[in-house]
A and B are shown apart, each in its own frame.
Chain A
């Protein structure tokens, strides 16, 4: 079947992802609907990483030989590709980290230490109730360590940020506003520009968790008016068809220069004497030690692959599949979707409850039919608590998802209902 907005070359794109050919126990084909957890990898990413390991492997920025030069060049080219992917004003503003959690922790830690931006007693940090744990816990640690106060936006019943309190929350006491662009549980797309404008007006910096946004929304930081552009933005490689072990922190030069170093070690220094050291400029100031070289190079190939298809086209595809899935899921008796019901206002992760069956049990039955989804709290316990649910089941699509896979999910949910005999007393 065809839906408006689907990627025109979907069949070809699916061939780029070898794992989609897999069959599981009992010979059933894989239906992968867990891309918000981690995305699958195209052949070009796998090949790029293997090629680097087979032919160019060496440490970077310190090996005085040909392999070292090749490896350094490939690593720095990956930085250029990531910078282009998010439209970074400067390529040196792109810092490689281990994952998005490390990127967020880098910011939350360096704000504790002495420096122009140091947070202290009386200061306030503002987050939201829909954050992933990785954008809650680092700020709780920061406020515990500094005596600052943690505040947050609540959520409306339909799963959006409750902006009615924005004037009480974002004030001259606010030092940092940190929020997700797209919720990993509710799918909600947040109004980053509006909140950033408000935060900047009071002199606060804005940190955006783009872990779910980077895979599916076009991001062009350079095109954003400076008053609406976040100061820092984090995402992880493995959700944008790249490998695990590599994440990205983008930050404006002004803010990154004002933050003290995070980890100390090789590569982040200018000079070291026993009495004290001076530090390298960005990005190396925040990249102590040998980085995940081949992972960064794999990430470069991944964002190139996505850019080649086009983020506008991927976003349209996600919207089409999400709309189709919302329609299908709502046809299942006893099923409640958590979060906005309008496909245009949300990303491609849909969490839901099915009356009478626990998410673990749903996921188990779906797995027996080859369908991979996530069950649990999706590292967003406060957001679940807000809606009075312990856990949920989440399906998440990506650029390789086909409508027939959504049909299979809906059919399997009907089967789950019959397996647990929900229509009998």
Chain B
């Protein structure tokens, strides 16, 4: 990969989220929450993530994550995109992000849906980094599914 590819990977937006992550830290909530812990076994990166849902709305996503700039920034973008949305809307955003990341760089992202998440279009061209970008998103889906199924704490 070239210096140009490097800049495509590390978009300013990604580096900004990495330096100043949104919603970072684990927060306590009464009511429907679930907590999951996901690991990327190839590099050892980890995320502990809590989802709080009330009346079908994602009220909060809080997380404690150790990892590279891509994984940290994607957790921050996740927070921005899904908090305040209904579970259905948030799942649709999740699907859009997943499609983008699994598209090997061929998917044109919709900025209306993914906002800052479109900066990850460059990451999709680096197979070794796709897992980094998806770590917190997969953890969120897992935790949210648990809350919806009623497996989380009530």
Contacts and interface: CB of A to CB of B under 8 A. Distances in A.
Interface in B1-31: 1-6, 9-10, 15
Contact of A364 (B6, B15, B42, B66): B6
B153 to A, nearest CB: 28
A25 B5 contact: yes
A28 to B, nearest CB: 8
Interface string A200-238: 000000000000000000000000000000000000000
Given A367-B1, A368-B3, A391 B43 contact: yes
Contacts of B5: 25, 368
A375 B44 contact: no
A420 interface: yes
Q: How large is the interface on A (under 10, 10 to 19, 20 to 34, 35 or more residues)?
A: 20 to 34
Contact of B45 (A26, A364, A390, A421): A390
A370 to B, nearest CB: 10
Contacts of B44: 376-377, 381, 384, 390-391
A361 interface: yes
A365 interface: yes
A26 B1 CA distance: 7
A375 B2 contact: no
A357 B67 CA distance: 10
Nearest to B4: A26
Nearest to A384: B44
Interface string B94-132: 000000000000000000000000000000001001001
A357 B10 CA distance: 13
A28 B46 CA distance: 33
Interface string B62-82: 000011111010000000000
A377 B69 CA distance: 17
Contact of A361 (B42, B46, B69): B69
A25 B69 contact: no
A358 to B, nearest CB: 4
B2 A368 contact: yes
Interface in B33-90: 42-46, 66-70, 72
Contacts of B72: 358
A360 B70 contact: yes
B128 to A, nearest CB: 8
B1 A25 contact: yes
Contacts of B66: 390
A359 interface: yes
B15 A360 contact: no
A414 to B, nearest CB: 15
A390 B43 CA distance: 9
Contacts of A359: 43, 68
Interface residues of B, number: 23
A420 B6 CA distance: 12
Contacts of A361: 10, 68-70
A26 B4 CA distance: 9
A377 B1 contact: no
A27 to B, nearest CB: 9
Contacts of B1: 24-26, 367-368
B132 A360 contact: yes
Contacts of B43: 359-360, 375-377, 391
A359 to B, nearest CB: 7
Nearest to B126: A364
Contacts of B6: 364-365, 368, 419
Contact of B129 (A364, A369, A376, A384): A364
A422 to B, nearest CB: 11
A358 B3 contact: no
A368 B10 CA distance: 12
Interface string A387-425: 000110000000000000000000000000001110000
Q: Which of A25, A26, A360, A376 has the most CB of B within 10 A?
A: A360
A37 to B, nearest CB: 13
Contacts of B70: 360-361
A364 B1 CA distance: 9
A26 B2 CA distance: 5
A384 to B, nearest CB: 7
B2 A364 contact: no
B129 A420 contact: no
B68 A360 contact: yes
B69 A26 contact: no
Contacts of A419: 6, 10
Interface of A: 24-26, 28, 357-361, 364-365, 367-369, 375-377, 381, 384, 390-391, 419-421
19 contacts: A24-B1, A26-B1, A26-B2, A26-B3, A357-B69, A358-B67, A358-B68, A358-B69, A365-B6, A368-B1, A368-B2, A375-B43, A376-B42, A376-B43, A384-B44, A390-B44, A390-B66, A391-B45, A421-B15
Given A359-B43, A364-B10, 16 more contacts: A25-B1, A28-B2, A357-B69, A358-B67, A358-B69, A360-B45, A360-B69, A361-B68, A364-B6, A364-B126, A367-B1, A376-B42, A384-B44, A390-B44, A390-B46, A391-B43
**6 A-B pairs closest in CB distance:** A26-B2, A360-B68, A358-B68, A377-B44, A368-B6, A376-B43
